[in-house]
Amino acid sequence: MADSAIGWAGSPDPIKIGWLGSALDGPEGGYNKIHRMAFDEALEEGLLDRPVEFVLHAENGLPRGSARNTADGFKYLVDQGCIGIAGAYSSDNAIVAAPLANELKIPLISWAGTERLAGDYCFRLGNGDCGGDAALCVSWLARNGYNRVAVLSEVSPNGEEYFRFFRQECRRHNLKIVALETVSQNPANLTENLDNLRQSNPDALCYMGYGMLAAQGFLRKALDELAWDPPRIMGTAFMFYLMGFDKFEGWVGIDQFDPNNPLTEGFHQRYVERHQANPPMWPNAIPVLAYDTARVLAEGLFRAPSLSGPGLKDGLEKIRFMPSTTGGPRTHIAAAPYEHGMFRGDWLLYGRVRNAKLEFEGLFEPSE
């Protein structure tokens, strides 16, 4: 009895949560403050009864780093005692980390859009969805009467998956792909590729890819050189507008920021009250997605039968109708065994950049 009493003396060990990836900006950065705010609120609400320690690790993964860096980073966080990890945010890195999460039985929450993030310990709060992006792009094209579409398809893990779904949706809605240019993430002459598409005289242009062509300004530069200003749409590569709205001028894209979601304004106000500053590059989708990621981990811990990797997995699978700050007002978050795509409802929507500012374009509407 005496030994047991000694074992219970003192404060409980903190729960360790790992953050793996390029979305991290250090202990004093805005995104870490967002994560911390969500967990502080969970403690204040009594959802957690012990402190939570964050372990941050920069991923340095694909496409600029390596797959090994992603794998080593995930294993490092597990070795540090983390029972849950958020990160491997892009599809190429999620594909690398997923087998490790399943093998080591540590839940991974990723923002990846690929359907290849799969397994008992893989959960997805998608910063887009390869199939869903394609369906929404085609719906927007069809509703606006753009029947002849030129496609710029990028060779990347996301690019090929996007195009497979996009072609299927075009066939379903009787849209014609009148021209296709397949390019790398670093094309030799993007202006020539776009000119080939322009010569097909399309009603609209669609870009299916990871997004670096837009984020680095290559798309804007090539369109300007051609003086070509077609109606145009892209998938959730659109949210690279974080790299500068001017680079996305004239584009409609799949977004996750809805100013009409009442939780969005509440989040913004509480962040400003705590830090006397806006979240990073506000307004945009990534801060609310970061906030929901941390909230999901806290809710999973609250429901976990044991504070372990398998226990957190069980807790995450018990979440139902959790209101979402990401997406439209009717978006909610849930999971269940073998059902780990966690967003439900209007979690993907449309944005537009006009005059170097982000505008809300609307929610998904079915097309006949």
CATH of the domain at 321: 3.40.50.2300
Pick from 47-51, 75-79, 102-106, 147-151: least confident = 47-51
266 and 192 in a single domain? The answer is no
Q: Is residue 352 part of a domain?
A: no
Same domain, 314 and 246: no
Decide if pLDDT at 45 tops 70.
yes
* Residue 349 is assigned to a structural domain of this protein: no
Give the lowest-confidence range in 165-169, 184-188, 292-296: 184-188
Q: Which residue has the tokens 């957690």?
A: 48
Query: What would the DSSP string read from start to end of 249-303?
Result: TT-EEEE---TT-HHHHHHHHHHHHHHSSPSTTSSSHHHHHHHHHHHHHHHHHHH
- Cα dist. 237→107, 171, 357 in Å? 26, 23, 16
Q: What is the mean pLDDT of residues 154-173?
A: 91
pLDDT of residue 22: 66
The residue range of the domain holding 137 is 130-255
**Mean local confidence (pLDDT), 142-167:** 93
Together in a domain, 145 and 240: yes
Say what the pLDDT of residue 26 is. Answer: 72
Pairwise pLDDT comparison (28 vs 114), residue with the higher score = 114
Are 93 and 149 contained in the same domain? no
Over residues 319-368, the pLDDT tens digits come to 999 999 999 999 999 999 999 999 999 999 999 999 999 999 999 987 66
Question: What pLDDT was estimated at residue 158?
Answer: 81
Q: Examine the domain organization and report whether 247 and 286 are in the same domain.
A: no
Instruction: Give the confidence band of 8 by pLDDT, cuts at 50, 70, 90.
Output: low
Q: Where among 206, 228, 255 does a domain terminate?
A: 255
> Comparing 14-28, 84-98, 158-172, which segment has the lowest mean pLDDT?
14-28
- Number of C-beta neighbours around residue 243 at 10 A: 16
Mapped onto helix, strand or coil, the DSSP state of residue 14 is coil
Do 284 and 309 lie in one domain? The reply is: yes
205 within a domain of the structure (yes/no): yes
Strands across the sheet with 15-20, in order? 52-57, 15-20, 84-87, 108-110, 122-124
The reply to whether 364 falls in a domain is no
More confident residue, 5 or 238: 238
Question: In percent, how much of the chain has pLDDT > 70?
Answer: 96
Predicted model pTM: 0.94
Q: Is there a domain that residue 359 lies in?
A: no
| Structure-token pair, residue 284 | 């945009």
Q: Are residues 92 and 135 in the same domain?
A: no
- Answer yes or no: is pLDDT of 185 > 90: no
367 inside domain:
no
Taking the C-alpha atoms of residue 179 and residue 265, their distance in angstroms, rounded to an integer, is 42
Average pLDDT, the chain: 94
Of 21-30, 111-120, 304-313, the one with minimum mean pLDDT is 21-30
pLDDT at 4: 40
Are 120 and 268 part of one and the same domain?
Answer: yes
What's the mean pLDDT in 46-75? 93
Sheet holding 176-183, edge to edge: 176-183, 148-154, 204-208, 232-234, 252-255, 349-354, 357-363
Residue 69 Rama label (left phi>0; alpha psi -120 to 50; beta): alpha
- pLDDT score, position 2: 40
Q: Are strands 252-255 and 204-208 parallel, antiparallel or unpaired?
A: unpaired
Question: What is the percentage of the chain residues whose pLDDT exceeds 90?
Answer: 85
Give 270-320 pLDDT, tens digit per residue.
999 999 999 998 999 999 999 999 999 999 999 999 999 999 999 999 999
229 and 312 belong to one structural domain: no
Final residue before a domain boundary, out of 204, 226, 255: 255
pLDDT band at residue 180 using 50, 70 and 90 as cut-offs: very high
- pLDDT value of residue 368: 62
Boundary (domain end) residue, out of 233, 255, 277:
255
User: In this structure, are 158 and 227 located in the same domain?
Assistant: yes
Say if residues 217 and 108 touch (Cβ distance below 8 Å). Answer: no
How far, in Å, CA of 239 to CA of 215, rounded? Answer: 9
Across the range 85-90, mean pLDDT stands at 94
- The two structure tokens encoding residue 266: 């509440």
pLDDT mean over 61-87: 95
Residue 227, in any domain of the structure: yes
Residue 23: pLDDT band (50, 70, 90) is: low
User: What is the number of domains present in the chain?
Assistant: 2
Whether the pLDDT of residue 9 is over 80: the answer is no
Which residues lie closer than 8 Å to 278 by C-beta, 6 or more apart? 268, 271, 272
Tokens of 208: 């299916």
Radius of gyration of the chain (CA): 21
Same domain membership, residue 179 and residue 167: yes
Is there a domain that residue 361 lies in?
Answer: no
Q: Are residues 142 and 245 in the same domain?
A: yes
